[in-house]
Chain A
Amino acid sequence: MLPAEAKEKLVRRMGPRGYLDRPEDLKLYEYDGSVDKALPDLVVFPRSTEDVVAIVRIAAEYGVPVTGRGAGTGLSGGSIPRLGGVVVGFSRMNRILEIDLENERAVVEPGVVNLDLTLAVQDRSYFYAPDPSSQKACTIGGNVAENAGGPHTLAYGVTTNHVLGLEAVLPDGSVIWTGGKEPDLPGYDLTGLLTGSEGTMALITKAVVRLMRQPEMVKTCLAIYESPEDAGRTVTEITARNITPVALEMLDGVMLRMVEEATHAGYPMDAGAVLLIELEGLREAVEEQVEQIREACAACRAREFRVARTAGERDLLWKGRKNAFGAIGRVSPTFYVQDGVVPRTKIAPTLRFIGEVSSKYGLTISNIFHAGDGNMHPIILFDARKPGDLDKARRAGEEILEYCIQAGGSITGEHGVGMEKNEMMSRLFSEETLDAIRALKDVFDPGNLFNPGKVLPTGKGCLEIRQPALTAAGPVY
């Protein structure tokens, strides 16, 4: 709840066009790309760090929860105001403050759209590496909060490997700078701690990020298989040959047909699975690696191996991959996507297990995922209008995550824990570890006002948890 006095102060500070409070407007801020919902009491749109400080101070004074929000494309409920309160929308803090190619750095505000940064530097042959599939919409601030990934993180690493410094507003309204353009500053790596902290410890108001030089050559290959397990085995075969692709994505047969019907990217309609494999680097290295990859695929019974001949062909293959979730909407009214991770050598058995779960619950589950780093994205199709279907989908999802944990993996590779998987944290980590996370959060946020109800298990009855409503998600990676 937002006390009237607090609201009045916030509204006065933000000015007439700096906030939303009508029910029909607030409704647009109750959800993200995941399956949960919760209404904020007020949405504010700061323009500067000073605005953010003022908002945080007022919220602290009245004990009001504060939840940061970028574009709302997240997949774990990270930007949903679980306990209501104030949502801080960063859409007006969307300036690229500095592009410093000489030093391979950019300084951005949190509301900058991920792809816009690459677009701003690509004509000078640079790019920003983390590339979540929602990169046309998602923001760098959201990426930092969730430590977002994407297909090319296989070679380049996730967001945390590309963020070098942060300006952060802490829950008491103080502003700190962590890290910077320069490497190896002494002290604790707060940049690394805050990245992926899901907005539970600080609001990011500026980020210093790394820009990378575009590779000279890119080759995109498509390997076609009769069975998903053969495709899964290829991943370890590639590793065994000491080749490192920059992206190694898998789509199973169910997914392929949905994607092809929607995008006509040239994917085979009758295959059991395909691998989309990308290689980058110096011409001399890439040309050799394409041949090595061709051999690895053949050794794992690929029935066909194609190399995109033109940039147009390559773009089409990636369009099919990145728009996959839009394609699902044509087939199933609702779906539920998981983000578990397993060691690369366990991909084939994990796919087999997902098949068993699909049969057990009578739900179609398709797979489209970052095979190269074992980051599974099983998509459970269901009909929310059919009684019991939603519950079945949730249980199927949990069984798959449980399997990932048993296989030595994790419940989330890049989507974050949020309010979707926080209760599962206790299956992955010991009570000692959860206590340590809780204590660290307390150091920053003793009043538990920043994004409450996320990451850590809440325990039954501790929080008012609203009835989740499942809807079809937007673009997902």
Chain B
Amino acid sequence: MSVLTPSSPEELAALLGGAASQRQSVALGGRCSKRRMAGAVAPSDLTISTSAMDRVLVYEPQDLTISVQSGMPWCRLASTLADNRQMIPLDPPFFAEATVGGVVAANTSGPRRRLYGTARDFVIGMQFASLEGKLVQSGGMVVKNVAGLDMAKLLIGSFGTLAAIAVVNFKTVPMPPRERTFLLSFHSAPEAVKARDRILAGALQPAALDLLNPAAASRVEQQGWVLALDVGGNAAVLERYARELRNVGRWTALDEPEHSSFWQQVRDFTPRFLESHPEGAVVRLSTTLSQLREVVEAMPAPALARAGSGVCYGYFTDAAAASAWLAQAGKRSWKAIMEFAPENRAHLELWPQPGNDLETFERIKRLFDPHGLVNRGRLYNRI
């Protein structure tokens, strides 16, 4: 089946509107790097990719804002900003292949969310194409804006089930003058989590605070329960971290280029795992900081946790084991989903326990897509 690649938001809207008016179903994506994420799109009449919409529309570095088309590769956005020592530190997996629209639609994020937040904290405006063939605007190009409903929030994490993201406006932040990695290794989860608690209770503000269980640590050439910090600042600030972290545990520091290559491994942990495990699955647990220890300890597989935010990823070599574990997690009222699964996954329960807002989600879906035409099943087989 051919893939339609509109070159402008207007063309995207026309294609989508045209398809919908003929009741044709549509598979919508960017470069489809996250094919194994969430639900698989049900077989569709048409495929539309935003990959040819890859331009920077507005970038005034001194305004700390940028507007780009959704098909722009994330890595190109990052390097455009880096030329001006700015960044949008979402650190998404599939960094090299993913498009801006895909990162936003899948709401992927990475280690530095502890300090900087996720897509919802960086998107200041958005233009999307509706199934009516219209272009709709949310927000704008200023960092503070409360005019109208924040519809962009709905599109973030919507996996293309509502509309097609055409343009995304971001706020940017300056890069820190220097960055350094501190790695602390522990014999047990309780020790590592205690160290995390001490760091969080103090004045230090690491950008990233990840926890890896031994099975995960060995995949990034580390041993034991590893607490990994990404810290930014001037030389005096980095020295301060070195001094104070001595009270928390024995550390190893990584400077460039080891610093970047370590975090690249962490960022690409999921893509690398999926590549070597075609039948593998990744579960994602949303938890609180205090419950994280229990969750990480209970993971019978490599586990990588955003220990300063409350998200834990578990890497299972087969989907059946992941499903069994999800069922157990459900019994403990843990909020978990199968974030990545094998290509063939229509039969899997990816999102076992939705909240009581699911009915509202369905009503919103019906508003945007009354005939259920776009990215059917993509939202974890539920929508």
A196 in complex: contacting residue of B150, B240, B357, B361, CB < 8 Å? B150
Q: Which residues of chain B from 145 to 169 have a CB within 8 Å of any chain A CB?
A: 145-151, 153-154, 156-158, 162
**CB-nearest residue of chain A relative to B109?**
A184
Given contact pairs A182-B335, A192-B153, A342 touches B120 in the complex (Cβ within 8 A): no
- A187 & B121 in contact (Cβ 8 Å cutoff): no
Residues in B whose Cβ lies below 8 Å from that of A230: none
Of the residues B140, B236, B351, contact of A284 by C-beta under 8 Å: B236
Among A105, A243, A409, A412, contact of B146 (Cβ-Cβ < 8 Å): A412
In the A-B complex, the 10 residue pairs with the closest CB atoms:
A192-B153, A242-B174, A284-B236, A182-B286, A216-B203, A413-B144, A432-B134, A410-B145, A103-B288, A341-B142
Binds A, one of B56-64, B72-80, B179-187: B56-64
Residue total for B at the interface (Cβ-Cβ under 8 A): 77
Partner of A417, one of B117, B144, B148, B290: B148
- Within the complex, what minimum Cβ distance (angstroms) separates A225 from chain B? 19
CB pairs A–B below 8 angstroms (5 shown) = A182-B335, A213-B201, A374-B143, A428-B148, A430-B137
Give chain B's interface residues, CB within 8 Å of chain A. 38, 60-65, 85, 107, 109, 117-118, 120-121, 130, 134-138, 140-151, 153-154, 156-158, 162, 173-175, 177, 200-201, 203-205, 233-234, 236-237, 239-240, 284, 286-290, 309-311, 335, 337, 351, 354-358, 360-361, 363-364, 367, 379-380
Within 8 A of B (CB), among A101-143: 102-105
Does A193 make an interface contact (CB < 8 A)? yes
Q: Is A153 an interface residue (CB 8 A)?
A: yes
| CB-based contact A149/B144 at 8 Å | yes
- B64, B148, B154, B284: the one contacting A239 at CB < 8 Å is B64
Given A189-B156, A410-B147, A436-B151: A342 and B142 interface contact (C-beta under 8 Å): yes
Q: A342-B142, A410-B146, A436-B151 are in contact. List 14 more A-B contacts (CB 8 A).
A: A102-B288, A149-B144, A176-B356, A186-B157, A187-B354, A188-B154, A239-B62, A341-B144, A343-B60, A374-B143, A410-B145, A417-B146, A437-B151, A440-B149
Within 196-247 of A, Cβ neighbours of B (below 8 Å) are at 196-197, 213, 215-216, 236, 239-240, 242-244
User: Chain A 76-98, CB within 8 Å of chain B: the 1/0 string?
Assistant: 00000000000000000000000
Docked Cα-Cα span, A183 to B154, in Å, equals 16
Assess the A410–B151 pair: CB atoms within 8 A.
Answer: no
How far apart sit A215 and B154, CA to CA, in the bound complex (Å)?
Answer: 33
From A156-164, A265-273, A325-333, the one touching the partner chain is: A156-164
From residue A198, how far is it (CB to closest CB) to chain B in Å? 9
Cβ contacts under 8 Å, A443 to chain B = 363-364, 367
B379 touches A375 (CB 8 A): no
Q: Within 8 Å CB of A322, what residues of B? A: none
Contacts A192-B150, A192-B153, A284-B236 given; indicate if A373 touches B357 (C-beta within 8 A): no
Do A183 and B309 contact each other (CB < 8 Å), given the known contacts A103-B289, A288-B234?
Answer: yes
- In the docked arrangement, what's the CA distance between A185 and B285, Å? 9
Residues of A within 8 A of B200 (CB): 104, 213
Contact status of A189 and B153, CB under 8 A, knowing A183-B310, A439-B367: yes
Q: Give CA–CA (A342, B290) in the complex, Å.
A: 42
- Indicate if A316 sits at the interface (CB-CB under 8 A): no
B65 shortest CB reach to chain A, Å: 7
Min C-beta distance of B31 to chain A, whole Å: 22
Cα distance A189–B149 when bound, in Å? Answer: 12
> Does chain B have a CB within 8 A of A69?
no
Chain B residue contacts of A428, Cβ below 8 A:
140, 147-148
Tally of chain A residues near chain B (CB < 8 A): 85
Q: Which residues of B contact A416 (CB under 8 A)?
A: 146
How far in angstroms is the closest Cβ of chain B from A450? 13
**A345 and B144 contact, CB distance less than 8 A:** no
Residue of A nearest to B38 (CB): A186
CB contact under 8 A between A193 and B154, given known A183-B286, A282-B205, A436-B130: yes
What CA separation (Å) do A443 and B107 show in the bound complex? 24
Interface presence of A408 (CB below 8 A): yes
Residues of A within 8 A of B236 (CB): 284-285, 288
A187 pairs with B157, CB closer than 8 A: yes
Contacts A242-B175, A437-B148 given: A345-B63 contact, CB under 8 Å?
yes
A451 beta carbon closer than 8 Å to chain B = no
Chain A residues with Cβ below 8 Å from B107 are 184
Tell which of A104, A193, A216, A411 touches B289, judged by Cβ atoms closer than 8 Å. Answer: A104
Min Cβ gap B96→A in Å is 23
> Is A278 interfacial (CB 8 A cutoff)?
no
Asked if A187 meets B117 with Cβ closer than 8 Å, knowing A103-B290, A425-B147, the reply is no
Residues in chain B near residue A429, CB distance under 8 A: 137, 147-148
- B85 contact set on A, CB distance < 8 A: 242
Contact between chains at A413 and B145 (CB < 8 Å): yes
